[in-house]
Amino acid sequence: MSSLIPPPIIALAGWHLCASLVAFIAYAIDKRAARAGRRRTSERTLLLIGLAGGWPGALLAQRLVRHKSSKKSFQVRFRISVAASVAFTLALLHAASRYAYSPLG
């Protein structure tokens, strides 16, 4: 019996969920460090986590924790990384759908 949701989509959703959780935690830790005057997480690291699929969690943290939400230069780079992540995800889904429905797959 075949699943209603193909395994590659389930795997991709799981990856984004885990990456989003990591992103949310990273933003929260960085916000706490900023308030305490401790060593911070680099913006590059925060952007890379978002680029790797964690951007929904990063966006949620920006809204709930109110971290990195008003820094314009970061927001421009964040939006570019979101667009790149979405484009890559769509390309993966397209490739997976072509493989799933090919006569050889």
pLDDT of residue 7: 81
Give the tokens for residue 30.
């960085």
pLDDT at 70: 78
Residue ranges, the chain, pLDDT below 50? 1, 105
pLDDT at 3: 65
Which secondary structure element, helix H or strand E, spans residue 53, and what is its range?
Answer: none
pLDDT at 1: 44
Element (H, E) at 6: none
